[in-house]
């Protein structure tokens, strides 16, 4: 699944979601969202931080580059966005 997720461009944050929602004329509930850009169009996903706080924290940290992870290519710890 890791390579599947990494194959998309992921933006985290309300600004990107607010912009997408505004462009489509939709009003989204407040919260944390991920926008996954695909060749078939964008997918907006709401992240349920109250229900799965550690999972959302991990996803956001890896997306923003604030969480350390081990690069499988060289085995070194890195602190950069995992998803492009």
Q: What is the mean pLDDT of residues 4-33?
A: 55
- Interatomic CA distance for residues 40 and 44, integer angstroms: 13
What is residue 24's predicted lDDT score, i.e. its pLDDT? 63
Query: In the predicted model, is pLDDT for residue 67 greater than 50?
Result: yes
Tell me if 81 sits within 8 A of 64, measured CB to CB. yes
Percent of the chain with pLDDT over 70: 69
pLDDT at 41: 86
The pLDDT of 29-52, averaged and rounded, is 87
* Alpha helices by DSSP H, the chain: 2-6, 14-24, 53-64
pLDDT at 12: 41
Residues 5 and 83: their CA atoms lie apart, in Å, by 7
């Amino acid at each position: 699944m890791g390579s599947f997720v990494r194959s998309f461009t992921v933006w985290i944050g309300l600004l990107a979601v607010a912009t997408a929602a505004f462009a489509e004329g939709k009003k989204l509930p407040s919260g944390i969202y991920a926008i996954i850009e695909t060749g078939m169009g964008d997918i907006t996903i709401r992240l349920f931080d109250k229900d799965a706080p550690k999972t959302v924290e991990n996803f956001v940290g890896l997306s923003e580059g604030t969480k350390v992870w081990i690069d499988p290519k060289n085995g070194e710890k890195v602190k950069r966005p995992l998803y492009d």
